[in-house]
């Protein structure tokens, strides 16, 4: 399934059978940082302060702050009021408000990618494409079927990143990490992309030049909508406040 990308900011309404992707350039201006920092929870601010490089600190602040803003607009809730919990392996989820909304995020180099879904588990991975010894790394981390896919591919490096992102997206969706073993995830390639089993599918895409992404999800999927915010973050924050009116009930219903 192809991602339908647009530069529109969307209406923050998730329809049945949809998953929304948000690709954001991690190039914050001072005005954006000034807006986001007060939205962070104390533990998020503490994590940001532990980064040695200023660039990494700013990227973390922007990625976490935007997660709050985007989720807040879907939920019609104040961004700073959202509470997160984490699985044993570190997968984040919303603990307040109580919601049917699920999300995942991944960042690589200068981009962060968010996936938003409803009534389904989802995982997302984003990787910057660089020159590597694809077969050598594949033999260390992939299974024999994966290595065969690389050997048969006209572009082994592209196939490597497609496989890696697909596997990592799935492991993130089920709340595991790559330490669980990329070789334990068996993928079959069909006309629609990667196929795991009757319950799970993985959809590969190119969100920006020089990057590969993958979305893993369960349940019936009818459409993947992608929203790109890559050139003017200040404009994004100047848009009408979609988080209003604020939700007054912890149980959020979606159309």
Q: Which residues contact 225 (CB under 8 A, 6 or more apart)?
A: 3, 4, 6, 10, 18, 19, 20, 21
Mean pLDDT of 1-25: 85
Whether the predicted pLDDT of 58 surpasses 50? yes
Looking at the DSSP bridge assignments, the partners of residue 203 are: 215
Does any domain span residue 253?
Answer: no
Mean pLDDT of 124-152: 91
Query: Percentage of the chain with pLDDT > 70?
Result: 87
Number of domains in the chain: 1
Does any domain span residue 204?
Answer: yes
Does any domain span residue 249?
Answer: no
pLDDT of residue 247: 35
Mean pLDDT of 152-181: 89
Tokens (6 digits) for 35: 């807006």
Tell me the CATH number at 27. 3.90.470.20
pTM over 0.95: no
Does any domain span residue 77?
Answer: yes
Most confident of 89-93, 123-127, 244-248: 123-127
Does any domain span residue 244?
Answer: no
Does any domain span residue 163?
Answer: yes
Does any domain span residue 247?
Answer: no
pLDDT of residue 93: 86
pLDDT of residue 253: 32
Nearest Cα residue to 91 out of 180, 177, 217 = 177
pLDDT of residue 211: 94
Q: Which residues contact 150 (CB under 8 A, 6 or more apart)?
A: 134, 135, 138, 142, 156, 159, 160, 163
Can you give the residue range of the structural domain that contains 91? Answer: 3-238
- Asked if 125 contacts 22 with a C-beta cutoff of 8 angstroms, the reply is no
Whether the predicted pLDDT of 147 surpasses 80? yes
- Asked if 100 contacts 93 with a C-beta cutoff of 8 angstroms, the reply is no
Does any domain span residue 87?
Answer: yes
């Amino acid at each position: 399934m192809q991602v339908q990308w647009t530069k529109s900011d969307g209406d923050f309404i998730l329809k049945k059978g949809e998953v929304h992707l948000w690709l954001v350039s991690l190039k914050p201006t001072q005005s954006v940082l000034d807006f986001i920092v007060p939205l962070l929870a104390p533990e998020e601010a503490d994590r940001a302060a532990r980064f040695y490089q200023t660039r990494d600190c700013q990227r973390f602040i922007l990625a976490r702050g935007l997660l709050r803003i985007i989720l807040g607009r879907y939920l019609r809730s104040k961004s700073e009021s959202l509470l997160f919990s984490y699985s044993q392996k570190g997968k984040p989820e919303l603990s307040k408000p109580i919601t049917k909304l699920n999300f995942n995020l991944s960042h690589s180099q200068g981009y962060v990618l968010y996936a938003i879904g409803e009534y389904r588990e989802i995982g997302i991975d984003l990787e910057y494409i660089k020159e590597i010894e694809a077969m050598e790394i594949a033999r260390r981390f992939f299974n024999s079927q994966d290595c065969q896919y690389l050997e048969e591919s006209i572009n082994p490096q592209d196939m490597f990143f497609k496989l890696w992102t697909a596997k990592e997206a799935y492991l993130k969706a089920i709340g595991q990490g790559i330490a669980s073993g990329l070789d334990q995830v068996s993928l079959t390639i069909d006309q629609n992309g990667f196929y795991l089993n009757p319950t799970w599918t993985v959809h590969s895409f190119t969100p920006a030049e020089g990057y590969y992404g993958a979305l893993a999800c369960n349940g019936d999927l009818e459409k993947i909508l992608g929203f790109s915010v890559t050139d003017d973050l200040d404009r994004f924050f100047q848009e009408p406040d979609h988080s209003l009116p604020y939700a007054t009930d912890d149980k959020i219903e979606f159309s």
